[in-house]
Amino acid sequence: MQNTAAPINTIDVQCIWGSAKIDICEYDSKEAIINAFIEEMTLDEKIGQMTQSVWHNSVSPEIIQDRKIGSIIHTEGPTPGPKVSDWVTTFDTFQTHALKTRLGIPLLIAVDAIHGQNTFEGAVIFPHNLGMGATRNYDLIRRAAEITAIETAGTGFNWTFSPVIAMPEHEHWGRVYEGFSEDANVTTKALIASIQGHQGADLAQRDTIAATAKHYLGDGATQGGIEGGNAIIDEQTLRERFLPPYQAAVDQGIASIMVGFNSVNGTNMHQNEYLVQDVLKGQLGFDGVVVTDWLGGTRWGEPYTVINAGIDIAMQPANHDEFMAKLKATVLDGTVSMARIDDAVRRILGLKFDLGLFKDPFVKKELSALVGSTQHREVARQAVRESLVLLKSEANVLPLKSTDKIAVIGKHANNSGLQSGGWSIHWQGQNHSYAGATTILDGIHGFAPEAQYYPTGCTEDMQASKVVAVVGELPYAEFKGDSTNLNLTETQNKMLSQCKNLGKQVIVVLISGRAMTVTDTIEQSDAFIAAWLPGSEGAGLADFLFGANGFKPLGKLPTSWPDQYEDLPLAPDAKNALYPIGFGLNEY
């Protein structure tokens, strides 16, 4: 088989390689090699490349080999084990079996590493994107993504479903914290930094992974802030607000884009041929991989409707056989054209070549030693202190001094699970601490070892004059976080009132995935800090409270902050906001 195509780029691969049919050393370009594969592949092999399953959902390495499945995902469920080496061994085993298929095509191995490698207990977990957006420090966002890429690659993955670039318009939405900001300019700058951090200058570098912009399109703008709801977007708004961040992602060479559960103007994004095939791939010029969300290839009907809309990979964790059989039938009867199948496979193989998987498909073990490292935690600690937004500070209550008589109250203060929110170790997060993390109380004790901890509130015999009250939401993710209740609990409110009634100065630290309707709490506090979901490095919050090394507050609101629930949703320039987007005190 001779190559007649003009070279696109030189392919640096081993000539002795696991393919029985394709001698890649006969070809001098990526395009030529991909064309040779497509010419050789059977329909089953092509559909296998378009299918993603979950490695622990009754899917063994042998099934991957037998079904010729092209990618797997790790998500909620069993883990390979407690040690990094367990994960490396597991995913290298899957990769080995993929290479034993007739054509030896390597696997894409994906994970939702959306604020660090948040599925591995012991990895560094950064503030969620809303907090990172509050930093307005785009170099820091890039560095956080670089570290995420290293720790994600070091635990066995070559693809992450991140960054989320939604621009949340409703605080009711359970995914507000996954977006950087409601502002398109902030969002665009942050996503560019994130893509550069994850993907580096060259995806084939050993410390980079493929990134995914999601969820295309309008996921943060659904009516009522309902996860998977309908967003009504006119053409002008589509062009001026929603497409520019995705155009920026395409211009940055984003490897993949995930479509959302939501609909736009009544058409679900998984079946929206106009927005996926015509706009994203056609007008925006995206030449990477479009992937469904969970079960997206069958959730809204027959697979052909999704594939014909322009989707390249279907995430089918529980029913890959059903998806593959139904798609094959519609190719054979002409409902789905072979040209559409070949376009999808060409994009998938292109990503695998760009990642260098045909040359070196296995886990980059030298990166495994860096997972959870001290140097990575220091960057996350910096991200925490720069993400915090000081909304109120009176009576010289801040910064704290090590000599102050300090009490710390609230269960959120001594629980790394509560301070990290959803997508932390588990999909919905967890209500208990996890390995490797530093709680907020741990951090405070680093400055004031004598600070007392009262998880349920102030007491009359308490000697402390200053109280750090850490309160907020319990962890949630996706639709389980959709809520019309954006208040503190009655127990938390009573706890704060009790402390004030005892004459204490009260510093409120709010742990939340969104702005909340807590005007009364802000009014009765002496200082109020929007802490978002800081992740594993609670010491960063202590740095902020104590003004460590001359630190001054830096964080700025990534969204407008409501006064009353009835005011929601707030427009970005709303005059009735308690605090406008961009607000944040720079002095204690």
Report the C-alpha gap between 264 and 232 in whole angstroms. 6
Q: Which pLDDT score is estimated for 29? A: 86
Which residue from 269, 258, 260, 265 is spatially nearest to 230, judged by alpha carbons?
A: 265
Please list the active-site residues: 293, 478
Give per-residue pLDDT as tens, 224-248: 999 999 999 999 999 999 999 999 9
Q: Which pLDDT score is estimated for 318? A: 84
Q: What tokens appear for 143 in the block?
A: 């560095």
Give per-residue pLDDT as tens, 319-376: 999 999 999 999 999 999 999 999 999 999 999 999 999 989 999 999 999 999 999 9
Q: What is the phi/psi pair of residue 404, to 5°? A: -65, 150
* pLDDT grade for 21, boundaries at 50, 70 and 90: low
Report the C-alpha gap between 223 and 162 in whole angstroms. 24
pLDDT value at 554 more than 80: yes
Give per-residue pLDDT as tens, 67-115: 999 999 999 999 999 999 999 999 999 999 999 999 999 999 999 999 9
E-strand stretches of 295-386: 314-315
Report the C-alpha gap between 287 and 250 in whole angstroms. 8
Report the C-alpha gap between 419 and 408 in whole angstroms. 15
Q: What tokens appear for 429 in the block?
A: 């997060």
Report the C-alpha gap between 153 and 100 in whole angstroms. 22
Summarize the confidence of residues 459-479 as an average pLDDT. 97
* pLDDT grade for 5, boundaries at 50, 70 and 90: very low
**Averaged confidence pLDDT in the chain:** 95
CA distances from 458 to 502, 521, 524 (A): 8, 16, 15
Polymer length of the chain: 588
Beta-ladder partners of 31: none
CATH of domain 374-567: 3.40.50.1700
Residue spans of the domains in the chain: they are 43-360, 374-567
Report the C-alpha gap between 302 and 325 in whole angstroms. 11
Give per-residue pLDDT as tens, 407-421: 999 999 999 999 999
- Torsional sign, CA 120, 559, 584, 441: negative
Output the pTM of the full model: 0.95
Q: What is the phi/psi pair of residue 256, to 5°? A: -150, 160
CATH topology of domain 43-360: TIM Barrel (3.20.20)
Give per-residue pLDDT as tens, 259-274: 999 999 999 999 999 9
In contact, 79 and 425? CB cutoff 8 Å: no
In contact, 261 and 173? CB cutoff 8 Å: no
Q: Helices (DSSP H) in 103-202: which residue ranges?
A: 129-135, 138-154, 184-199
Summarize the confidence of residues 19-35 as an average pLDDT. 76
Q: What is the DSSP letter of 124?
A: -
pLDDT value at 13 more than 80: no
pLDDT value at 2 more than 90: no
Q: What tokens appear for 243 in the block?
A: 């497409």
Side chain identity at 510, as an amino acid letter?
L
Q: What is the phi/psi pair of residue 376, to 5°? A: -70, -40
Report the C-alpha gap between 336 and 122 in whole angstroms. 45
pLDDT value at 14 more than 90: no
Report the C-alpha gap between 110 and 255 in whole angstroms. 13
